[in-house]
Chains A and B, each alone.
Chain A
Amino acid sequence: MMEKIIATDRYQFTAEDKAEIEHCLHHYDDSRAASIDALKIVQRRHGWVPDNAIAAIAEILGIPGSDIEGVATFYNRIYRQPVGRNVIAVCDSIGCFLVGFEEIYSALKKQLAIQPGQTTADNRFTLLPICCLGACDRGPVLMINDDTHFDVSVEKLDAVLEQYL
């Protein structure tokens, strides 16, 4: 029984992902440095980093799984629990505060009926705060997945959200 659980539970990289992680090793003088790259590759595949992938990454890099977990839980852009199909990251730093991000944040919470850190029931959106996105002359700013949206207003929110299914 035990054997079966371990065998079926073992994380399987796709050949493509594994090759990409191994390629990343060439960029550094120590394999540990590819930790973040590897976590991102796994996350790109699943939207988040599943538990069993931690050990699998550790095995490729030749370092303890606890170290990978330490890294995975430190960085806010690595998700250790499932997220929705689209991740909304709202800049909540002072630059966007000065131009009224709080209004947008409230509107998003209300419209999606979730709090930051939560995912909508239809799994469409996860809402998170993020550090200054470096576009303060065009705030409020938010990111959805890899797209940055500038000059966001409560009025424009619907048009922005409907681009993401």
Chain B
Amino acid sequence: MSSNVNLGLNNISAETHPLTWRYNKNNAQPILDLKTYESLEGYSALRKAIKEMAPADIQTLVKESNLRGRGGAGFPTGIKWSLIPMHENAGQKYLVCNADEMEPGTFKDRMLMENLPHQLVEAMIVSAYAIQATRAYIFLRGEYVLATERLNQAIEQAKAAGYLGENILGSGWNLDLHVHTGAGRYICGEETALINSLEGRRANPRSKPPFPQIAGLWGKPTIVNNVETLVNIPAIILRGAKWFRNLSQGKSTDAGTKLYGVSGRVKNPGLWELPIGSSAREILNLAGGLKDGLELKAWLPGGASTDFLLPEHLDLAMDYDTIGKAGSRMGTGLIMVLDNQHNLIAAVRNLEQFFARESCGWCTPCRDGLPWTVKVLEAIEKNQGQAGDIEFLEQMTRALGPGKTFCAHAPGAMEPLQSAIKYFRSEFEQGIKESPSL
């Protein structure tokens, strides 16, 4: 198994840890068979949804729950869903789970799928029911071999039990759920690029509008949600919107729990399900703090495409708005720490190399601007920077910023760069070659 989960947490229950309590109850072993999952409230949300609730009721509930997308953007799930046509002639609709987890530093969806595959399958079924989709896909990155195997196994078991397929639980509603595995490329995580990839095309993003809810997969109304977002839905159906909003325990205006994690040179890297809005310091403490002899220099709150923050920001609530106001983004909520022995310029160079390689090449600022940025950073790293290089990099953060490109890839790439220059300008300056004296 890949991850340490909830290390050091006590009193884990369905009421407090809707995403991971089953794993805990099963002695931190994956739940792969239907019976064990059913014995832990499994598929009871599906039964409740189909027997007692109309699709519109579930949509209203999700809106009232204030659940926001856990893939990184934090868009309210209920609002996303509300744009899907629900009239009788709406025709074929699709639900797609974005399980293309590739944001550097992020390892939460892997845990959810490898250990609790039925939880995602149930979440997909109730969510598809809520929007009355009859076909659903899990777009899973090809490298997640174990998750592929376990999800496929869970789907077969669910089919045999009548939870999937035709006339589910006597409702007259049918659902076909398929695991589609990808063939690489970070850009597939972008919602419209993902749709193109699922259609068997190059994963170039599409222009919006139209939004996928109106014209998505094969031009039909489509909802794309992240794994962690979806697995909240069955719990919301069972326990209600008010319960979900209260899970944050007043730490945030956001609702629910969040899978937070820490990687880098800390004592106990891992993953924890905590009330959303828990502070970065609480999360870092669970990870045991930095290894002996190291000091925190900077941190990325939730992936490669988020702005660096400093030790002084550790007490901020890890939620969308608070981290946003501090000039970064919560992103996926999995923290990466840089310590005082890391070379910051090298780290930024590594980040930009990643974005340059993963650019789909569709638009010029991204395709050409990112490799150029890397070249300049490489020079600064070797103390070969030229006068004006820092100003050039700053210019890039504007030229590749929001609104200048087709999708959020290049703007995301500029977030760690702009914040690195803002907080550590002197380190960039040290990499500029002194001009020869005249």
State the A residues within 8 Å of B (CB).
27-30, 32-37, 39-40, 61, 67, 70-71, 74-78, 89, 92-95, 97-99, 129-139, 143, 146, 148, 150
Contact = CB atoms under 8 A, between A and B. Distances in A.
Contact of A132 (B104, B197, B338, B353): B104
A95 B347 CA distance: 10
A92 B104 CA distance: 10
B51 interface: no
B277 interface: no
A67 B4 CA distance: 43
Nearest to A68: B200
Contacts of B261: 136-137
A122 to B, nearest CB: 26
Contacts of A27: 178, 180
A29 B197 CA distance: 14
A95 B104 contact: yes
A99 B350 CA distance: 13
A93 B304 contact: yes
A129 B105 CA distance: 16
Given A39-B183, A136-B263, A148-B2, 18 more contacts: A29-B92, A30-B218, A75-B203, A78-B183, A92-B350, A92-B353, A94-B300, A95-B105, A95-B336, A98-B265, A98-B337, A131-B184, A134-B106, A134-B143, A135-B107, A136-B336, A137-B107, A137-B270
Given A134-B110, A138-B269, A139-B263, A94 B105 contact: yes
B115 to A, nearest CB: 13
Interface hub of A27, A67, A150 (most chain B Cβ within 10 A) = A27
B107 A76 contact: no
Contacts of B264: 95, 98-99
Interface of B: 2-4, 92, 101-107, 109-110, 135, 141-145, 178, 180-186, 197-203, 218, 261-265, 269-271, 300, 304, 334, 336-338, 342, 346-347, 350-351, 353-354, 357-358, 360
A128 to B, nearest CB: 10
A22 B233 CA distance: 35
B102 A132 contact: yes
A94 B302 CA distance: 12
Contacts of A74: 185, 202-203, 360
Contacts of A134: 2, 101-102, 106-107, 109-110, 141, 143-144
Contacts of A138: 2-3, 269
Contacts of A92: 350, 353-354
Nearest to A75: B183
B336 A40 contact: no
A143 B200 CA distance: 25
Contact of B347 (A30, A98, A136): A98
Given A132-B105, A143-B143, A33 B198 contact: yes
6 contacts: A70-B201, A71-B202, A77-B184, A78-B183, A132-B102, A137-B4
Given A76-B184, A138-B3, A94 B197 contact: no
A74 B200 CA distance: 11
B191 to A, nearest CB: 17
A93 B263 CA distance: 12
Given A36-B200, A70-B202, A93-B104, A137 B3 contact: yes
Contacts of A95: 104-105, 263-264, 336
A71 B338 CA distance: 37
Nearest to B204: A74
Contact of B104 (A36, A71, A94): A94
Given A32-B201, A39-B183, A97-B347, A137 B271 contact: yes
A139 B135 CA distance: 37
Given A134-B106, A137-B262, A94 B183 contact: no
A135 B354 contact: no
With a 10 A CB-CB cut-off, give which of A40, A76, A94 has the most chain B CB atoms.
A94
Q: Which of B92, B110, B342, B354 has the most CB of A within 10 A?
A: B354
A143 B142 CA distance: 12
A97 B181 CA distance: 26
Given A27-B178, A75-B184, A76-B185, A132 B106 contact: yes
**10 closest Cβ contacts across the A-B interface?**
A35-B200, A137-B269, A136-B263, A75-B183, A93-B104, A77-B184, A76-B184, A132-B104, A32-B200, A33-B200
Q: Which of B201, B300, B334 has the most CB of A within 10 A?
A: B201
A136 B111 CA distance: 12
Given A92-B350, A98-B338, A132-B104, A36 B178 contact: no
Nearest to B144: A134
B34 to A, nearest CB: 22
From B101, B105, B178, B198, residue with most partner A Cβ within 10 Å: B105
A47 B143 CA distance: 16
B200 A34 contact: yes
Contacts of A77: 142-143, 182-184
Given A99-B265, A134-B106, A94 B354 contact: yes
Contacts of B2: 134-135, 137-138, 148, 150
